[in-house]
Amino acid sequence: MSHHPALAHHFEDLEQQHESATLGMWAFLITEVMFFGGLFTAYAVYRWRYPEAWLEGSHELDIGLGALNTAILIGSSLTVVLSIHAAQRGESRKIVRWLLATIGLGLAFLVVKAIEYSHKFHVGHVPGPNFASGDFVHTETQLYFGLYFAMTGMHAVHMVIGIGLFAVLLGMAMRRRFTPEHHSWLEMCGLYWHFVDIVWIFLFPLLYLLGRNQ
Amino acid sequence: MSADTKRAAAPEPNYITANYGIKSWLLTTDHKRIGLLYLISISVFFFIGGAFAVLIRMELLTPEGDLVDSETYNKLFTQHGLIMIFFFLVPSIPAVLGNFLLPIMLGAKDLAFPRINLLSWYVYTVGGLVTLYATATGGVDTGWTFYTPYSSTYANTQVMYTAVGVFITGFSSILTGLNFIVTTHKMRAPGLTWFRLPLFVWAQYATSLIMVLGTPVLAITILLVALERGLGIGIFDPKLGGDPLLFQHLFWFYSHPAVYIMILPGMGVISEVISCFARKRVFGYGFIAFSSLAIAVLGFLVWGHHMFTSGQSVYAGLVFSFLTMVVAIPSAVKVFNWIATLYKGSISFETPMLYALGFIGLFTIGGLTGIFLGTLALDVHVHDTYFVVAHFHYVMVGGMVMAYLAGIHFWWPKITGRMYPETIAKFAAVVIFIGFNLTFFPQFLLGYVGMPRRYHAYPEEFQVLNVMSTAGASILGIGYLIPMGYLVWSLWWGKVAAANPWRAKGLEWEVPSPPPTFNFDQTPVVTEEAYAYAADDSFVETEAAKPPTYPSDPKVGADS
């Protein structure tokens, strides 16, 4: 039995190694669910307690930009899947191409987010001593913006980490490190990216959409 | 250590002699070496945390606050709690013994993610250094619980740095938990089914579940406090409509399960030790295994019993009180099964067994007083008194530290290849047991008659019991220094250990002491259940129990 170059010394075979990596990644994603769970709990408690303040706050967000970012992220999940698909078929150049697309979409998301943030800074809707509380009827609206920045901020941090991971993968792909039988790294980072994507799928309606018809 | 002579004579190098130099340790991915790195780090933190305890007990020797002022005292108990909980108790057994033993017990060459394992130690160390920096530059006075709004708004101490330190260290336990879960699922040797696993592995697995599910919640909670303190986000700030109680809910959602992170691995050690020194199969294997999982699950449902007097609703209090009673059941299952294991066993009193028996007694007292505290009406009377302090220390020090010492002694020959000196070790175990009870039993009485915790001065009628407690703490402190001394001594002058000096069952006893770097030359095949001790199996020297004889090593066989 010859050893695959990617097989680590402490595993019996590539299958065991891949299964371990997959289970480890899913377990890690569960820790992420618990991490964001704390934020979502805080959101739920205060939304239930201060519905008017939440309504007031969500009307300040730009639905157009939020929807654009949602589309960008869903698109980036697609490009990740396509890169994995390319790896399964051994098409190295396509891996590189789809990874580049993913990184580009990730950066586009961050740019849109930065535009939204800078607008909030501009009009003084950032919690803290300079908060323009005169703009709002309810004092708890500041709490809404606190959670808005905490939740989207933590999400953005995860985006930055993800883009960094894909940059590393891009380097590996250019050195043709991924083969049809072994591309665990690509799949694991893909799982992570889908998770970050799903967090946004929850954030968008909770922060931007709920109650907008009122 | 006579490593050089041994190396020349022994046929195969072990994990310690495989390679040399500081780099071979700091860049190692060997789970056994990482276990030793953790052992050194947590020992340092144990003695730092202990030093704070010494100062606390010295202040409480007299009713007046004469040694330190009240603000300094606040810092002393905060630092003691923080360091002992996050930097000693949480990583103690999992990161040292678990790291060392889990892969060997599973018949694997290493943990599933060796580099992540090393990373976890670095993360722990960085978190520890940040916390020590905060300690050295003024310390923190919020209590280890960081209650808001004090921690977020009013405290003028090093809350930020401490919070960052604890936040970082949390990731090391997440990584350890991840590694253990994947390794247990995916890397068991052929024939090693779930119900042949040693109970130590079950305990580590249950602990890992809590680490993975609970620790991220602590991370986000601390992060929110830091954001509130640093950027004025105001999630827990009543001025903005935020609710400090939400902090307590989030904090205890982690920190109550965290006490099971601290005790479950100890219970795993006790199962191994009791079975070995009673020469008997563990009674009720399945019950003990599942009780670990039950504790892990139920432990997540009882956090509200920390908040009976915080203003949570009475109905919530009732439910949490009931669930607290429920979580006592799996703990009691374990105690009863250990006692049933002892029944008609052929018991011998080596040092690990002394600690294990001490554990059973002290944990029972600690556990039962936990029922008192979980009882809604009684808790209103004794909350925030020394009764709580005594209860907690009975479980954590009387339970976990005893179990940790039992495990360290039990596996010391495997880890180092040397025996510890038995007579002085037994003496130290007795000293620790006496010192512990003298320290903490008076605190039950103090709490019951109303002495509040976290005050540096107290009325004169409490002095006698406080003097007893401080006297006990002195004995306990000396008791902890003795093992520190003789264990280090044994590295050079201890008797060379056999592969299986206790004639115990389990894969870790089938490899040499110390094990080679990859543990097994060939993947072992497991054909029997754990703890297959024969009924008449007393201590007789067999081939495996004899120390190996290397002709060129003069120290072999020389008794200590």
- Contact status, residue B46 vs residue B109, Cβ threshold 8 Å: no
Q: Which residue in chain B is spatially nearest to A144 when comparing CA positions?
A: B235
How many other C-beta atoms lie within 10 A of the C-beta of residue B499? 20
Residue B4 has pLDDT above 50, yes or no: no
Distance, CA of B469 to CA of A190 (rounded, Å): 57
Condensed to tens digits (0 to 9), the pLDDT of residues A27-54 reads: 999 999 999 999 999 999 999 999 999 9
Q: Given pLDDT bands bounded at 50, 70 and 90, which one contains residue B3?
A: very low
Q: Percentage of chain A with pLDDT > 70?
A: 99
Q: Give B-chain residues touching A149 at CB under 8 angstroms.
A: 233
Distance, CA of B162 to CA of B144 (rounded, Å): 10
Condensed to tens digits (0 to 9), the pLDDT of residues A151-170 reads: 999 999 999 999 999 999 99
Residue B510 has pLDDT above 90, yes or no: yes
SS3 B385: strand
Residue B463 has pLDDT above 60, yes or no: yes
| Interchain CB distance below 8 Å, B178 and A139 | no
Q: Give B-chain residues touching A20 at CB under 8 angstroms.
A: 112-113, 182-183, 186-187
Per DSSP, the residues of B276-297 read HHTTSPPTTHHHHHHHHHHHHH
- Contact status, residue B166 vs residue B131, Cβ threshold 8 Å: yes
Q: Is any Cβ of chain A less than 8 angstroms from the Cβ of B523? A: yes
Residue B328 has pLDDT above 90, yes or no: yes
Quote the pLDDT of residue A2. Answer: 54
Condensed to tens digits (0 to 9), the pLDDT of residues A79-133 reads: 999 999 999 999 999 999 999 999 999 999 999 999 999 999 999 999 988 888 8
Q: Is any Cβ of chain B less than 8 angstroms from the Cβ of A139? A: yes
Domain residue extents for chain A:
14-209
User: Measured between CA atoms, how close is A3 to chain B, in angstroms?
Assistant: 16
Mean pLDDT value across chain A: 94
Q: Given pLDDT bands bounded at 50, 70 and 90, which one contains residue B537?
A: low
Q: Is any Cβ of chain A less than 8 angstroms from the Cβ of B215? A: yes
* Tokens matching residue B324: 């607290």
Quote the pLDDT of residue B557. Answer: 41
Identify the architecture of domain A14-209 in CATH.
Answer: Up-down Bundle (1.20)
Residue B315, class by beta-carbon neighbours within 10 Å (0-12 exposed, 13-18 middle, 19+ buried)?
exposed
Quote the pLDDT of residue B233. Answer: 85
User: What is the ipTM, given to two decimal places?
Assistant: 0.94
Quote the pLDDT of residue B1. Answer: 42
Condensed to tens digits (0 to 9), the pLDDT of residues B143-161 reads: 999 999 899 888 889 999 9
User: Measured between CA atoms, how close is B529 to chain A, in angstroms?
Assistant: 23
Q: Is any Cβ of chain A less than 8 angstroms from the Cβ of B189? A: no
Q: Given pLDDT bands bounded at 50, 70 and 90, which one contains residue B240?
A: confident
* Tokens matching residue A63: 């639905």
Q: Which residue in chain A is spatially nearest to B218 when comparing CA positions?
A: A35
Domains of chain B: 29-509 (1.20.210.10)
| Interchain CB distance below 8 Å, A10 and B219 | no
Q: Is any Cβ of chain A less than 8 angstroms from the Cβ of B109? A: yes
Q: Is any Cβ of chain B less than 8 angstroms from the Cβ of A26? A: no
Condensed to tens digits (0 to 9), the pLDDT of residues B38-51 reads: 999 999 999 999 99
Quote the pLDDT of residue B334. Answer: 97
Distance, CA of B116 to CA of B126 (rounded, Å): 15
Q: Given pLDDT bands bounded at 50, 70 and 90, which one contains residue A1?
A: very low
| Interchain CB distance below 8 Å, B220 and A129 | no
* Tokens matching residue A50: 């201060």
